[in-house]
Amino acid sequence: MNYYVFQIKTALKDFERSKVRTFLTSLGIMIGVFSVVILIAIGIGLRNYIEGQFESLGSNLLFVVPGNVLGEDGSFEGFSPDAFMGSFDDRDVSSLERGLEGVEYIIPLYSNSVTVEQGAESESATIFAGSADVFAALSLEAEIGDVFSDSDVGKKSKVVVLGNKLATNLFSDINSAVGQNVRFSNQRYRVIGVLEEKGGGGFGGPSFDEGVYMPYTTTYSNLNPDREFQELYIGVTNEEDVDRVKEDAEEVLQRRYEDDEFSVVKQTELVNAINQIFGVINIVLVAIGSISLVVGGIGIMNIMYANVTERTKEIGIRRAIGATEKDILFQFLAESIMLSLLGGISGLLLAALVVVIVKPYFPVGLDMAAVLIAIGISSAIGIFFGVFPARRAASLTPIEAIRYE
């Protein structure tokens, strides 16, 4: 034990002697670990956020989306280009309404990005145009005023309900929003309500708090003249009927579309698909972050080689007074591992600090596995990149080393 304490103290003494060099050498690893941990944190945060949004919708919901999204085994196949274009219409809604039993509602959903103007203010927002059931399906409630009704849908009323954040950004006082008009796409719409805050950030998918909610029929006149919908939501009355309704819906849609032109997806399948996508995204992010770790490791190797040359005489002295090759190997290896760990732990602390600061504004999450991987990787880098210089130090014969000037 004392021997290891001695070796660690020896390494620390060397760091103390060359503080700037120690700092600069560990900086590479610090940046690498910071990038990896932060990128994983962002990946995890986004996944949790989007997963949370879909989970909050309830497991009795079915999504009808264009293209073949899920494979035979229910695994995620990828979005087809069609997935981003509207390809359902009123006819599909009617045939589903006729052909399905045990269904509470079917919501056609049209969404688009717009710039909403109110007085001198203007804000980017996402339109969620659906039937009046959209609020129940998305678990949204009005904080001020009211949401639109079936009658508004029937009358194609030019009314909107604003997400909480959007209303806050457009109006100095959201209590005054109801009854006022907002403009987008050269049309004027009356605000009839402001929703309760739903939470979450706006990355990876539109935020409900920044949405404009309106009857889908209202979009026909201007925004959606082709009367197409990107998605249909089917609310199943009893959760145990979800699989049956899914099969029935597929049967109904097959009368009009080919198998690969649409998908009926359960909420659980969607969550699994999201997990898969983010799994891949995370691997890519970590691979990118790891490049800086490797660069940092090379920096350590470089400095350790310089260190061996600079301290050749010292190595000779230590050998003369009884140090074995292994002692010298361990000394230099301990130094490179400690340099790496120093960088790794600093990077981790910095990442944790950034996560704490950013968390209220952006969905990030520190993962214990990421922390352990970061520390593991930085130790491994210390060993891998330290072992060559350390072996060179250990292989010097005492007399060669002691004579070195």
Structure tokens at 173: 């006082």
Piece in contact with other proteins (CB under 8 A), picked from 234-242, 275-283, 290-298, 396-404: 396-404
Q: Which amino acid is at 40?
A: I
Is residue 399 within the footprint of other proteins (CB under 8 A)? yes
For residue 79, give the H/E element and its range. Answer: none
Is residue 92 within the footprint of other proteins (CB under 8 A)? no
Question: Residue 401: which residues within 8 A CB-CB, separation 6 or more?
Answer: 312, 313, 315, 316, 319
Give the residue with the Cβ less far from other proteins, 75 or 397. Answer: 397
Q: Identify the three-state secondary structure at position 279.
A: helix
Is residue 291 within the footprint of other proteins (CB under 8 A)? no
CB of 320 to other proteins, least distance (A): 5
CB of 308 to other proteins, least distance (A): 15
CB of 326 to other proteins, least distance (A): 7
CB of 346 to other proteins, least distance (A): 24
Question: Residue 395: which residues within 8 A CB-CB, separation 6 or more?
Answer: 325
Q: What is the largest CA-CA distance in the chain?
A: 98
Give the residue with the Cβ less far from other proteins, 185 or 397. Answer: 397
Give the residue with the Cβ less far from other proteins, 179 or 322. Answer: 322
Under 8 Å between Cβ of 194 and 144: yes
Q: Report how far residue 208's alpha carbon sits from residue 111's, in angstroms, rounded to the nearest whole number.
A: 12
- Site mask for other proteins (CB under 8 A), range 17-56, x = bound: x---------------------------------------
Q: Report how far residue 392's alpha carbon sits from residue 35's, in angstroms, rounded to the nearest whole number.
A: 32
Piece in contact with other proteins (CB under 8 A), picked from 195-203, 280-288, 297-305, 393-401: 393-401
CB of 369 to other proteins, least distance (A): 38
Structure tokens at 1: 């034990």
Give the residue with the Cβ less far from other proteins, 5 or 120. Answer: 5
- Site mask for other proteins (CB under 8 A), range 306-335, x = bound: -------xx-xxxxxxxxxxxx--------
CB of 15 to other proteins, least distance (A): 11
Structure tokens at 20: 């700037």
Q: What is the DSSP string of 169-193?
A: HH-SSGGGTTT-EEEETTEEEEEEE
Q: Pick from 82, 223, 398, 404 the residue near other proteins by CB under 8 A.
A: 398
Under 8 Å between Cβ of 171 and 194: no
| Count, residues near other proteins per rule CB under 8 A | 24
Q: Report how far residue 109's alpha carbon sits from residue 127's, in angstroms, rounded to the nearest whole number.
A: 10
Binding site for other proteins (CB under 8 A): 2-3, 6, 13-14, 17, 313-314, 316-327, 397-399, 402
